[in-house]
Chain A
Amino acid sequence: MSEYFINTKDFNYLVSDLMDKSRVAAPAGEFGRKYWFDVDGDSLGRIDLTGYRTVEPCKAYLFKPTELVARYFDGDTHLSAGPLVLLGARACDLEGINVLDRVFGEGDQDPFYLVSREKTVLIGADCTDCGASCFCSLVGGGPYPTACFDLSLAVVPNGYVVEVGSEKGKKIIDDHRNIFARVLPPAAAAKKENREKVEAKLKRVNQGFSTGELSLLHKLNLENDIWRRLTKDCVECSACNFICPTCSCFLLVDEASSGLNRRHKLWDACLKAGYAKVAGGGNSRPRLFQRLQNRYHCKFDYSFDRLSRYTCVGCGRCIDGCAGNIDMREIFAALDREIKK
């Protein structure tokens, strides 16, 4: 794929220009962490593409926490979405979107996700650091985007190296041809050096951890006692579900107001006791350990049947968000030992 250099001043111009036509969201630092925010003319300077992922994933821009999906019976719900640029998505964010694209786009389609996705430009960014919970490298990823982006940026002295990943991305370059230059060797070298540095740090951070034989999780008897032990600190808060870039469960909920019936699609969480409840008190997973176990199978085992891949992208958000301080990587290690027994 082709690569270009853009200097910092022209980059700001490019973002302003994108803002004229689209909503633009990007990471900004606050209290030592980064969060997604809506960029406007006054806040352009807050965009911060250094460091690693934001606290929250960007899935909410595409798969809304709550969304009106039907009004009945007076015609259909209007499907529409405004243009959006997600600027500064990390490799793990992009992989997460790739999972959502497949979940909502393969087989029967969810037009609400697809229409938002269609209108979205994904601009990735290399990580210039990694967090203590980052483990993309354990699930086949790494700290820089390799797929699922329209453009991707690498922060280098005085500007950015921009990689083109799609026709949509190429169009942005073509529309602003005059501000993109050839990549000179020092910029290329800076990009490479940063990648190696972050890869090395990721390796250090995850020393001693591995996903081991996790893809053989189905060999482990679901009744195995290990699950009860592993779950003892889980308090069923479901933070891991909501903060995960690939958790995509939802529930359709209806309401009536002033003679009109509306149906909403709401994020749901498989850790909740009522998630699989059926009438008459039946429940496929009445016990908390069964629900946590199901989450691991969903990401590391059933995901192979459905999408031929892990659907955990190793962002580590569920580690940071866990009220019970459960570190997924420690669970991997315990499971691996059990699988190998």
Chain B
Amino acid sequence: MAEEAATTRPEFPIGRVKKIMKLDKDINKINSEALHLITYSTELFLRFLAEKSSVVTAENKRKTINLDHLRTAVKRHQPTSDFLLDSLPLPAQPVRNTKSVSDKKAPAPPVGTRRIDDFFNKGKAKVDSS
């Protein structure tokens, strides 16, 4: 019984799937069945990515899946590689919110501006001297 329920109730929020689909302006209407199928297939895809990545991780005798493992896993499956490989960040490229990379390089302030902490540092120096 629980098994049956699980096969028909998607794990992913359907509304979110629909939003993502609608980001493409060419997409008009989606039938409810089609929406469910895409949601479920996305879960299958995610499971596939997880499984293949963890295989690569184990091959490398690691416990933490990292981007290289993911990339290798993607490369090994041709259909996935065809659409996904280019989307993966390059080895040296920072992923959008990762803090570890931003710690290493502070972005240069735009031309004509200065960093706000420069202001505070100078202000402090003034206060000290007066």
Q: Do A and B bind each other?
A: no
Residues of A that sit less than 8 Å from B by CB: none
Residues of B that sit less than 8 Å from A by CB: none
